[in-house]
A and B are shown apart, each in its own frame.
Chain A
Amino acid sequence: MNRFLRHVTVWRLIGFLCVLAGGYATLIRITQGLGGSTNLNDTFPWGLWVGFDVLCGVGLAAGGFTVSALVYVLGIEKYRPLARPAVLTAFIGYVLVVGGLLFDLGHPFRIWHPIIMWNPHSVMFEVAWCVTLYTIVLAAEASVLVFEKLQWRRSTRFAHRLTFPLTILAVLLSMLHQSSLGSLFLIVPGRLHELWYTPLLPLLFFISAVAVGLSMAILESNLSAKTFNRALESDLLRSVGRIAAAVMAIYLAVRLLDMTRTGALAALWPVSRASVFFLVEISAGFVIPMLLFAWPRVRQNTQWLYHAAQLAVLGFIINRLNVTVTGFEVVRGETYTPAWTEIAVSLMLVTIGVTAFYLAARYLPVFESDPGEEGEPAMSGP
């Protein structure tokens, strides 16, 4: 009993409770349908499961293609230690997105329909294909961890040779997928508030995904450094922070110039629910983290770097929820609050994700530096 209790920590207890509640919520979803398990209705057909589980899940996985593009396409070798954890996060993220979709779809067993029933005019069709193909690509990218662990030398060599073409595919698919989630909303000009609706939604979704992907890379390294008592690649994280600041600056420039052009900035005044949510999103997700990342004093301090990344992720989540929920609420004058079951399922998925990352980081060579295409496979950890 004592040996068991030693493994109980506050976070593990919380995680356990999340899975327990999520499991019960799953039962309600299966037996009572979406009506009994969510607060969705014909006015708000999409809620937390689309806005958080799917949109944020895909966005937070963006570190996978961003970091591997830096390493394998642009050849910036110093970021190599970050590539594996980022790809692993992306793979886990995408598996969870598929999991989230199974909850949200009215007919989860028909999830494969878009593969044979085509409608190329539908953004959702593009989304479906991107999820399918990129999950396969990520599985192939992550498979090298398993091959190395098992010391299957031929498979490992083969997987290493595939790294470059897979990275090219990953970047192309991510480019399409991240932007398509923004394109989904292009068809609702009258229903989404002008602070969020713009023809540039696909571009904005892509840029913000790159920024949050880099922030996630900083978060992961920090969390795993604490958990596994590794030394931190603080030089590396500092320069990742600098790139993130540049990307956020580009995002803000595009978004604010576009809002000036369309006249949407005028909607900020008088102060309303919409303008408050907009300001919280833009400051927490972009302005403050950009300033923090750009400030040398902050970058020198790993703790502050970590907090800046946390803020960026939080602001990103607010952005995606604003586009899916708040932007519709303020136009309709009605509100949607997720049911406890919706929250429980989302927390359960997050817990599964964190646990999967922890286990993979513990048992697979995630933090071993990738030896490159020619090198011998690295030996696995302790």
Chain B
Amino acid sequence: MYGLLFDASRCVGCEACLDACRAEFELPGTHGKKLSTTDYTVLEELDESYLRRMCMHCIEPSCASACPVGALHKTPEGPVVYEYEKCIGCRYCIVACPFGIPRYEWDSTTPRVQKCQLCSHRLVEGRPTACAEACEFDATVFGDRTELLAEAWKRIAEDPDTYAPRVYGAEEAGGTSVLIIGPPEIMNAFDVNIPRESLPQKTWVVLSQIPTAVGAAGAGMLAVNWIIRRRIALAKQRTESNGEGGAES
């Protein structure tokens, strides 16, 4: 499974990655400061360092688990991709994403969900993402996720004064295909509310109980109903045999 390593300590903010992304997907206009339907990735400036924001491509993506029609799925190569033709526009993916990444075309009457696709079309051809190919400073590196994780820890170990001792994406939301390292001021900018465990599991524990619950509740209701009917019938018999008649209905 492929992924990206973003190294904020090496990023100089040249925006070559952003230009490459715009060119690859023929996105209109110039890049903005925040993710949008036409900005799949942005560079945020923090204390003279740069932080790349983009879809993290979770190993177990919440958005894909949330989508009722399977319009989002993770490909074997690693990207979490979106198929517009299936999408019904319920926006549960946007609610579910722990990183707050997907953007919706609110002003369209045929709206799409927009986010980074990790150049899935290039990956199947064995080519790296456009942004990684464009980076001349080894700040955005494309490769196998396991190797990138090792590379991330190697860079941290070689220069512990520069890097915070943490790889963002190693454990967040159960692990992501995009990994981020950098100086402490960058690493402290991340949302602290992101859980460490995989989130689709939280709904699956309930969904997987449905057959059992339906079976048990159905059988329970039939049993209770049978007992009640029988007791009513017996009570009726008893009153009739006592010669009182006038059984209640």
Is the Cβ of A127 less than 8 Å from the Cβ of B107?
no
Interface residues on B, range: 35 or more
Is the Cβ of A172 less than 8 Å from the Cβ of B218?
yes
Is the Cβ of B221 less than 8 Å from the Cβ of A128?
no
Shortest distance between the CB of A103 and any CB in chain B (Å)? 11
For residue A167, which residue of chain B has the nearest CB? B221
- Cβ-Cβ contact count across A and B, 8 Å cutoff: 164
B189 touches A (CB below 8 Å): no
Shortest distance between the CB of B165 and any CB in chain A (Å)? 23
For residue A129, which residue of chain B has the nearest CB? B68
In the complex, what residues of A have CB within 8 A of residue B249's CB? 77, 372
Is the Cβ of A75 less than 8 Å from the Cβ of B232?
yes
Q: Given A33-B111, A46-B91, A187-B62, A75–B228 Cβ distance below 8 Å?
A: yes
* A117→B70 CA distance, assembly (Å): 7
B150 touches A (CB below 8 Å): no
A81 touches B (CB below 8 Å): no
- Of B4-12, B96-104, B126-134, B239-247, the stretch lying at the interface with chain A is B96-104
In the complex, what residues of A have CB within 8 A of residue B218's CB? 168, 172
Partner of A122, one of B68, B110, B217: B68
In the complex, what residues of B have CB within 8 A of residue A164's CB? 225
The 0/1 profile, CB within 8 Å of B marked 1, for residues 99-117 of chain A is 0000011111011011001
Is the Cβ of A189 less than 8 Å from the Cβ of B195?
yes
* A118→B66 CA distance, assembly (Å): 12
Partner of A118, one of B70, B106, B200: B70
A360 touches B (CB below 8 Å): no
Q: Given A122-B92, A188-B95, A32–B109 Cβ distance below 8 Å?
A: yes
* A36→B109 CA distance, assembly (Å): 10
Within 8 A of A (CB), among B194-249: 194-195, 199-200, 202-204, 206-207, 210, 213-214, 217-218, 221-222, 224-225, 228-229, 232, 248-249
A23 touches B (CB below 8 Å): no
Q: Given A114-B69, A175-B213, A190-B98, A106–B104 Cβ distance below 8 Å?
A: yes
Is the Cβ of B214 less than 8 Å from the Cβ of A124?
no
In the complex, what residues of B have CB within 8 A of residue A111's CB? 88
B188 touches A (CB below 8 Å): no
Is the Cβ of A190 less than 8 Å from the Cβ of B206?
no
The 0/1 profile, CB within 8 Å of B marked 1, for residues 69-88 of chain A is 10001110100000000000
Is the Cβ of A168 less than 8 Å from the Cβ of B206?
no
For residue B65, which residue of chain A has the nearest CB? A121
Shortest distance between the CB of B231 and any CB in chain A (Å)? 9
For residue B106, which residue of chain A has the nearest CB? A35
Is the Cβ of B111 less than 8 Å from the Cβ of A45?
no
Within 8 A of A (CB), among B73-132: 86-92, 94-96, 98, 100, 102-104, 106-111
Is the Cβ of A42 less than 8 Å from the Cβ of B103?
yes
Is the Cβ of A121 less than 8 Å from the Cβ of B87?
no
Is the Cβ of A202 less than 8 Å from the Cβ of B98?
no
In the complex, what residues of B have CB within 8 A of residue A172's CB? 214, 217-218
Q: Given A30-B109, A45-B94, A120-B207, A189–B202 Cβ distance below 8 Å?
A: yes
Q: Given A42-B102, A75-B229, A190-B98, A110–B89 Cβ distance below 8 Å?
A: yes
* A309→B98 CA distance, assembly (Å): 38
Within 8 A of B (CB), among A103-157: 104-108, 110-111, 113-114, 117-128
In the complex, what residues of B have CB within 8 A of residue A15's CB? none
* A69→B228 CA distance, assembly (Å): 13
B193 touches A (CB below 8 Å): yes
For residue B193, which residue of chain A has the nearest CB? A190
Instruction: Please give the residue numbers on chain B whose beta carbons come within 8 Å of chain A beta carbons, in ascending order.
Output: 62, 65-71, 86-92, 94-96, 98, 100, 102-104, 106-111, 191, 193-195, 199-200, 202-204, 206-207, 210, 213-214, 217-218, 221-222, 224-225, 228-229, 232, 248-249
Residue contacts A-B, CB under 8 angstroms, 26 given: A33-B109, A34-B111, A35-B108, A36-B107, A75-B229, A106-B91, A106-B104, A107-B88, A107-B110, A107-B111, A110-B88, A113-B88, A114-B68, A117-B71, A118-B69, A119-B69, A121-B65, A124-B90, A126-B210, A127-B68, A172-B214, A179-B206, A186-B202, A187-B65, A187-B66, A199-B202
Q: Which 3 A-B pairs have the closest CB atoms?
A: A106-B89, A35-B106, A190-B193
Instruction: Please give the residue numbers on chain A whose beta carbons come within 8 Å of chain B beta carbons, in ascending order.
Output: 30-36, 40-43, 45-46, 69, 73-75, 77, 104-108, 110-111, 113-114, 117-128, 164, 168, 171-172, 175-176, 179, 183-184, 186-191, 199, 202, 331, 372
Known: A114-B69, A122-B92, A187-B203. 6 other contacts (CB 8 A): A74-B224, A107-B89, A168-B221, A187-B62, A187-B200, A188-B199
